[in-house]
């Protein structure tokens, strides 16, 4: 299956399956321990491990954490780093799974977990190809979704369609956000005819139960995923989104962000309600060895009772945290240092995966 999916995909939506919103109850968060020196070169990997420890510490105060490691040696290395950071390794809510990966971006390699009624859950495992074949080899990442489902004890359905978790965001009530630059990109089509909006809307209806798809345009500069929506715009309530808003006119993202805001205004969700749009500031442009980095506050993660928000040690941090504290109240909003993290071209949401309860 590639190109427009048509009838080749199972119609999970018609069978009553629903993709819940990220703020709905979780059983756990999944996270893969970082280990790729090509992703974080020049000594960054050690500093990134300290950020991982901070994320896991914050999550353990909220819900169980399931950590992916490659083997016995990598599990011991992760335990050593967490022990050095003062984390209680005897906590029963912290578990390690020997599921090998190529990199740490479990948001895109892991399954999307659907629910039906009060008791049923299903892991939707899609095809992973390293964002259009950019980073070979990726065979271990491609196999990780099904292995996570097995470790979680979830029944799974495998579909031959590229659909990364960071490329979509939903309100749990049938409205899904995405971008043209990613979902319609030629490198996502694989072995078939080009994707179309109609074809991808049908795919999202079948796989996620989407009844309304909101299409944004382009992603932010430096984003190697071709424009994942979790860097741009996120649901924070059933009919409220926060959307990255341009700062100075010199901001390289200004034109794309203005266009996305224009598309959002006046829209209604799948139930006919107006979508409230709350502007979320962008940090000033940050650069790395290969150019601009995809630094954004929209790449936050909602766990049970808390929100983990990337911060960059710049003045706009305080303003972004204030916006999110207002729209996410009474949830606790925790800043996670991400200046080193974003050199890997992702942040907090990219490296976490929620397992709905």
The whole-number pLDDT of residue 248 equals 78
- For the chain, percent of residues with pLDDT exceeding 90: 92
Reduced DSSP (H G I as helix, E B as strand, rest coil) percent helix, strand, coil of the chain, to 5: 30, 25, 45
Question: Is 293's pLDDT higher than 90?
Answer: yes
167 domain residue, yes or no: yes
Query: What order do you get walking across the sheet with 276-281 strand by strand?
Result: 233-237, 240-245, 276-281
The whole-number pLDDT of residue 102 equals 98
Residues marked as catalytic: 350
1 domain residue, yes or no: no
Question: Is 192's pLDDT higher than 80?
Answer: no
Query: Which residue in 108, 126, 115, 118 sits closest to 166, CA to CA?
Result: 108
pLDDT digits (tens, 9 = 90+) for 86-143: 999 999 999 999 999 999 999 999 999 999 999 999 999 999 999 999 999 999 999 9
Mean pLDDT of 196-212: 97
Distance of CA 165 to the CA centre of its chain: 5
Contact 51, 341 (CB under 8 A): yes
Confidence of residue 193 (pLDDT cuts 50, 70, 90): low
The whole-number pLDDT of residue 119 equals 93
CA dist., res. 240 & res. 327, Å (int)? 9
The whole-number pLDDT of residue 39 equals 96
Mean pLDDT of 320-348: 98
Distance of CA 235 to the CA centre of its chain: 12
28 domain residue, yes or no: yes
267 domain residue, yes or no: yes
53 domain residue, yes or no: yes
Question: Is 155's pLDDT higher than 60?
Answer: yes
The mean pLDDT value of the chain amounts to 95
pLDDT digits (tens, 9 = 90+) for 224-283: 999 999 999 999 999 999 999 998 778 899 999 999 999 999 899 999 999 999 999 999
48 domain residue, yes or no: yes
CA dist., res. 307 & res. 303, Å (int)? 6
68 domain residue, yes or no: yes
Confidence of residue 4 (pLDDT cuts 50, 70, 90): low
261 domain residue, yes or no: yes
Question: Is 188's pLDDT higher than 90?
Answer: no
Q: Range of 339's domain?
A: 6-356
Query: Which residue in 350, 353, 5 sits closest to 161, CA to CA?
Result: 5
What's the number of domains the chain is made of? 1
Domain containing residue 94: CATH number: 3.75.10.10
Mean pLDDT of 164-171: 98
CA dist., res. 219 & res. 164, Å (int)? 15
pLDDT digits (tens, 9 = 90+) for 56-71: 999 999 999 999 999 9
């Amino acid at each position: 299956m590639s190109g427009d999916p048509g009838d080749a995909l199972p119609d999970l939506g018609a069978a009553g399956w629903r993709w819940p919103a990220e703020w709905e109850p979780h059983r756990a968060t999944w996270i893969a321990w970082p280990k790729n020196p090509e992703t974080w070169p020049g000594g960054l990997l050690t500093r990134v491990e300290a950020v991982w420890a901070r994320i896991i510490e914050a999550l353990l105060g909220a819900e169980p954490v399931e950590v992916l490691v490659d083997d016995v040696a990598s599990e011991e290395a992760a335990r050593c780093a967490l022990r050095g950071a003062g984390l209680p390794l005897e906590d029963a809510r912290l578990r390690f799974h020997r599921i090998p990966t190529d990199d740490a971006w479990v948001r895109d390699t892991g399954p999307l977990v659907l629910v039906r009624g009060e008791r049923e859950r299903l892991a939707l495992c899609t095809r992973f190809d390293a964002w259009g074949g950019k980073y070979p080899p990726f065979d271990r990442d491609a196999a990780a979704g099904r292995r996570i489902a097995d470790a979680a004890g979830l029944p799974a359905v495998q579909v031959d369609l590229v659909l990364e978790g960071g490329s979509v965001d939903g309100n749990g009530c049938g409205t899904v956000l995405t971008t043209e630059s990613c979902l319609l990109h030629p490198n996502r089509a694989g072995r078939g005819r080009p994707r179309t909006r109609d074809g991808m809307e049908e795919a999202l209806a079948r796989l996620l139960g989407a009844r309304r798809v909101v299409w944004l345009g382009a992603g932010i500069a430096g984003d190697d995923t071709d424009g994942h929506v979790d860097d741009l715009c996120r649901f924070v309530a059933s009919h409220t989104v926060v959307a990255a808003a341009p700062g100075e006119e010199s901001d390289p993202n200004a034109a794309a962000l203005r266009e996305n805001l224009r598309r959002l205004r006046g829209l209604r969700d799948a139930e006919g309600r107006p979508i409230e749009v709350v502007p979320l500031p962008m940090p000033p442009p940050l650069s790395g060895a290969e150019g601009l980095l995809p630094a954004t506050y929209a790449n936050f993660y909602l766990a049970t009772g808390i929100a983990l928000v990337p911060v960059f040690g710049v003045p706009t941090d305080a303003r972004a945290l204030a916006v999110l504290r207002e729209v996410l109240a009474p949830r606790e909003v925790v800043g996670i240092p991400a200046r080193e993290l974003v050199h890997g071209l992702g942040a907090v949401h990219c490296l976490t995966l929620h397992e709905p309860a």
